[in-house]
Amino acid sequence: MSKDKKEIDVNELTLCKSTAQMLQRMRADGVENAFERASDMKPCPIGAKSACCKNCAVGPCRLNAKDPYAKNGGCVATIDTIQARNFARMVDSGSAAHSSHGMNMFNLFRDVVEGRAPDYTIGDPQKLKEVAASLGIETEEKDDTIIASEVCEAVGMPPVLGMGSCVDNSRILMAVTEMVNAGGMGGCRDPGT
């Protein structure tokens, strides 16, 4: 952080007490964090309005939010399209990240259930029962391992292309893929479509 930069109150950055504590500790240890780097950077005025597109090699196409309809992108995208696509891609990226995280968690869970991860155990049997109940699985008088196995069965899908079994998030993957496809070069000129 620059020496002349105003120090930000960590309580303005987060409502989470643990995160505030961590940020304070980082500050005390002289470790820079993302919030400080962001506040120490002058945003690009075009990027700040999300008026720049670099979805394809024709661009980057930079439009001017102060005169928004004076120009279109090379593929005829309007500023509305570019801003909508940029926003959609941010959401898309977040969805892909959470989906991937979910798949990794599920794969580890299944490894635990099937005895391939001896360093892990089911740490919260009550939560396991709650998840099972949410899936309509009966838990009365069943061993945790059986319940866990039935949870795997309910949410998983068989191994695909030798990559191991994974949670059935195919609908999320389809939505994520379609969003990138629709927002590609020349796609979705009308953001309402």
Contacting range for ligand SF4; rule: CB under 6 A; set: 42-50, 68-76, 120-128, 156-164: 68-76
CA distance 62 to 47: 9
CA distance 193 to 186: 13
Asked if 53 touches ligand SF4 (CB under 6 A), the answer is: yes
Structure tokens at 156: 């998983």
Structure tokens at 102: 């979910």
Binding ligand SF4 (rule: CB under 6 A), the pick from 22, 56, 117, 155 is 56
Asked if 51 touches ligand SF4 (CB under 6 A), the answer is: no
Binding ligand SF4 (rule: CB under 6 A), the pick from 31, 48, 58, 97 is 58
Binding ligand SF4 (rule: CB under 6 A), the pick from 33, 64, 74, 144 is 74
Contacting range for ligand SF4; rule: CB under 6 A; set: 53-61, 110-118, 137-145, 165-173: 53-61
Asked if 191 touches ligand SF4 (CB under 6 A), the answer is: no
Contact in structure between 92 and 99 (CB atoms under 8 Å): no
Asked if 73 touches ligand SF4 (CB under 6 A), the answer is: yes
Structure tokens at 10: 């960590």
Total residue length of the chain:
193
The residues, ordered by sequence, that sit 6+ positions from 26 with a Cβ below 8 Å of its Cβ are 32, 33
CA distance 85 to 73: 13
The contact set with ligand SF4 (CB under 6 A) reads 53-56, 58-61, 73-75, 77, 82, 185
